[in-house]
Structure 1
Amino acid sequence: MPITRELFIGGKDVPAASGRTTEDINPYTGEVYATVAAAGPEDVRRAVDAADAAFEEWAALAPFARRAIFLKAADLLDARGEQVAELMANEAGGTRPWAYFNVALAANMLREAAAAVTAPRGEVLNAQEQGALGLAVREPLGVVAAFAPWNAPVILGVRAVAAPLAAGNTVVVKPSEDAPLACGLLVADVLREAGLPDGVLNVVTNAREDAAEIAETLIADARVRGVNFTGSTPVGRIIGEHAARHLKPAVLELGGKNAVIVLDDADVDYAVNAAVFSVFMNAGQICMSGDRILVHESLAEEFTQRFTTKVASLQSGDPGDPHTVVGPLVAASSAQRVASLVRDAVAKGAKVLVGGGEPEGAVHPATVLTEVPKEADLYHAESFGPVCVVESFADDSTAITLANDTENGLTCGIITENATHGLAVARRIRTGIVHVNDQSVADEPHAPFGGAKASGYGRFGGRWGIEAFSNTRWVTIATQQAHYPF
């Protein structure tokens, strides 16, 4: 029997006001895995009502009491590995290693949020008036609208709410229609069990056809004072426009067209392993996935032979099989989208080194291309699937030019045994994140995470997340009476 879940508003599980529901489909089997409530605008307003009512008390709660909730939630989440593995396999086709990685990182994000609650915040300012004291104080925004995506559902579901809550805000989260349990309701369940007060976090699930209306209603509500979105660049542009129209700050973490650069002093075996992980973890459905592997011409032949051999050996298919590396994409339509990018590239002159062909349902074969021309859609578009392009370069400047030849700027990996060489290249890469002697997929809960250019703006992680979801307020204290001219 499919799982049945309702909305989570004001600490209670409640049906949509209309009584409507929507189906959550298993991408590998095509069967209904869960049925969730399909919210309408009236439900969004109910959720904001609850968040607004809870804000003052939550913001005033002693920091040590708030910290205890996050620490307990982290331990509770750590204990739910098996549940998360089942959820992620059935909702989004996630493999078991990917699910357990989600649990571990998300739990540490909650622990980092706990640390942030009691971290020093604000500054003492010099004042021009004699005997006056100035303070720059960080204060919460109020109600935050959060949007959580499906691809790393527990990581990004926790990230959608952890920093805003730690800063003292209350949150209404709209989880993805493709993983409403893992990236929304599961997170709420864990925090509820940890003692989060009613109304501080609210979850509004919706039918796919209502997504735009739900998002616009949520952002337009005058009581919502900040927006937190992780997702694709096209949708992020829309969310950013809505936030700007209502003069609300937004943090947008969007898509990437990421490169892994293998310099001439790289260890080839290490470079192959790093690149395979970067491209094919979670079937390439990570914003940080390596779309382009750029290899120095002196290593290109050896690297490409070893890389394609390893890619050809990757097991694909059932996400429940512990040996599966490349599981299904989130939907059969996503696999067809990736296949169309490959077909277009081949029709315009690209060569297939491994894979290609038609997907089986939502499973697309691990694919490596080369000689993809600029007029091919794949040259510019984020593949968001188990596909990459391998190209060679003659010198560092050419590699940097190729890596920067995209409207996106999220992350980059530079493989080298010479850190000085790697850092010199890294300084010229236009991304929000760059990893020297590592691949492009990496995330740490205390580090500033975010992109440049069309990959978004704002930063998650550590103090940067707290700053993103709080205001700086100037407060002065006069220790003596002022003299006025009239």
Structure 2
Amino acid sequence: MERYEELNKSFINGEWTEGLSSRNYDNLNPYDNSFINTIRLVTAKQLEQTYEIAKDAQKKWAKSSAPVRKEVLRKAAEYLKNNRDEMIKVISRETGGSILKANVEVDLTIGLVEEAIKMVDKLDEVREIESDIEGKINRIHRLPLGVITSISPFNFPMNLSMRTIAPAIALGNSVVHKPDIQTALTGGSMIAKAFEQAGLQKGVFNCILTDLEEIGDAMLTTPHSQLISFTGSTPVGKHIGMIAGSLLKRVALELGGNNPFIVLADANVDRAIDAAIFGKFIHQGQICMIINRIIVHKNHYDEFIKKFTERVKSLPYGDPMEPTTVIGPLINEIQVEKALSLIEDAKKDGAKIVLEGKREGNVLSPTIFVDVDNKSKLAQTELFSPIATIIKAESDDHAIEMANDTEFGLSSSIFTEDLSEGEQLGLKIESGMTHLNDQTVNDSPTIPFGGSKSSGMGRFGNPWVVEEFTITKWISIQKGYRKFPF
């Protein structure tokens, strides 16, 4: 049985490497602040050296055969499967996620690695395109991009890290990865262990345990990386985009959301409530795709509030290691204080509260606001906590109009009995994803995952991520003599 808590070092060039900073980070369980491990942080100089290692390793890895890359990924997936029970415990302890959430995260991660195996052959596919020049053949090749920078968040760290790492490796790239230091094991060290056990060539995957105080913007400005893949807040994403744009680097940015859950006039209310409960409160609302605004047609409004509130009151909260727990802790005290501040500000602004949460340490039980103004600060803020907002729509068209009245555009959902009309309405919602008769938190390694507007740019998932992580190269071959005009 692996002892993941002992993996408190960065993984650089195939070796577990001590950080050289004078600073340590104490990794604590967000539920009870119990000690997990202490991490010595990596310095900016170590980071620079890591990029040079990754650059050299990538040149060799790009020449590796498809069977070699497939076997590494297959063994990594096998390792994850064989160690899932211990990993689930670590995920729950480190992220504060429920056992259900931890199971979902491991399954999604395994699925990403297995899907990446199918991407390997994309490098060997050559397309021929007809030429309008006599005797010329046009061939389109796909080449590895180079070194990919990966930066992942604290909420679903293993899944949101692997969706960059596995495709990058499959497509002949190397990776320098930095997980959120609060979830260093889940988002970094356990992934590094999987690839170490899979026999991945040294230097192809490197996991850096550090923070911004140590490295600043070095992961963004390094000349050795061709793409920055980031999942996190919109303000940070915009900062990354500005720097990457000035350096003509590619980006894959999955940012914040203000995701609407729409209940239309013809919806089945009970089924909508089932979906809303899950889509609002899984992982305490700390998901970019989480339901942020519940927009209900006036015909169902009172019924929805009554039934939804009764269901929410019964949700178990507390220790995430207890199998029945639904609501566990927020990631840290700062996030709890932020959520409480949002609640107090909304109350001062006149928002009506029908259920107010209670704080126990970093655990915050659910809060429900009703009669919320869609233009209010409460409705326009990504809440990232177990706070539900319910908004009345005067008509179906009004619901769609309010859904679009936000700077964000990640996920959305519509409940309706008319699936044909629902799909047409879904096309009118300004978001990267819309789900009919489901909630907003959906993911799969085979869909184009990503947002619009301030929710990001680029798409994950096979085959869309292949385009993001490779170079398209045109080779023309002039077989017959070409006569030139001069």
- Indicate conservation of the 8 Å contact 1:348/1:375, yes or no: no
Between the aligned partners of 1:369 and 1:167, the Cα distance in structure 2 is 47
Correspondence for 1:434: 434
SS of the aligned residue for 2:138 comes to strand
Which shows bigger deviation, 153-162 or 374-383? 374-383
Give the conservation status (yes or no) of the 8 Å contact 2:24–2:38.
Answer: yes
| Matching of residue 116 in structure 1 with residue 113 in structure 2 | no
Going from structure 1 to structure 2, the CA distance change for 1:207 and 1:225 (only over 3 Å counts) comes to closer
Counterparts in 2 of 1:375 and 1:265: CA distance versus 1, 3 Å: closer
Structure 1: give runs of 5+ residues left out of the alignment: none
Q: Distance in 1 between matches of 2:435 and 2:50?
A: 40
Q: How does 1:234-249 map to 2 (within 5 A)?
A: 234-249=235-250
Residue type matched to 2:19 in 1? A
Aligned to 2:369: 369
How far does residue 32 in structure 1 lie from its aligned partner after superposition? 2.7
Contact 1:410 1:452 in 2 (8 A): yes
Per-residue CA distance 1:155-179 (angstroms, 9 max, x = gap): 1121131222222110000110210
Alpha-carbon distance in structure 2 between the residues aligned to 1:409 and 1:122: 35
Match of 1:80 in 2: 83
- Whether 1:165 and 2:174 are equivalent positions in the alignment is no
- Contact 1:349-1:373 within 8 A present in 2 as well: no
* Corresponding residue of 2:252: 251
- Mapped contact 2:88–2:106 kept (Cα < 8 A): no
C-alpha separation between the residues in 1 aligned to 2:159 and 2:202?
23
2:156 is matched with which residue?
152
Pairing 1:222-233 to 2, within 5 Å after superposition: 222-233=223-234
Do the aligned residues in 2 keep the contact of 1:333 with 1:362 (CA within 8 Å)? no
State how far apart, in whole Å, the 2-side matches of 1:138 and 1:417 are: 44
CA distance in 2, matches of 1:147, 1:482: 49
Aligned mates of 1:173, 1:252 — CA distance in 2: 15
Aligned to 1:275: 276
Q: Root-mean-square deviation (CA), in Å?
A: 1.7
Q: How many pairs are equivalent?
A: 482
8 Å contact from structure 1 (residues 95, 327) kept in 2 = yes
1:34 matches 2:51? no
1:134 positional shift: 0.7
From 194, 198, 201, the counterpart of 2:202:
198
Structure 1 counterpart of 2:111, one-letter code: N
Q: Report the Cα distance in structure 2 between the residues aligned to 1:380 and 1:324, rounded to whole angstroms.
A: 29
Matched, 1:177 2:181: yes
Shift of 1:180: 0.9
Q: Match of 1:176, as an amino acid?
A: D
Give 1:33-432 correspondences, 5 Å limit: 33-119=36-122, 121-207=125-211, 209-210=213-214, 213-214=215-216, 216-357=217-358, 359-373=359-373, 376-432=376-432
Q: Is the 8 A contact 2:371 2:392 kept in 1?
A: no
How far does residue 379 in structure 1 lie from its aligned partner after superposition?
A: 1.9
Percent identity, aligned pairs only, is 35
The answer as to whether partners of 1:74 and 1:111 remain within 8 angstroms in 2 is: yes
Which whole-Å deviations, capped at 9, do the CAs of 1:398-453 have from their partners, x for residues lacking one? 00111111100000011122211211210110000111111100001110000000
The CA distance in 1 between the partners of 2:88 and 2:356, in whole Å, is 27
Runs of 5+ consecutive residues of structure 2 not aligned to the other structure: none
* Equivalent position SS for 2:463: helix
User: 1:480 is matched by which residue type in structure 2?
Assistant: G
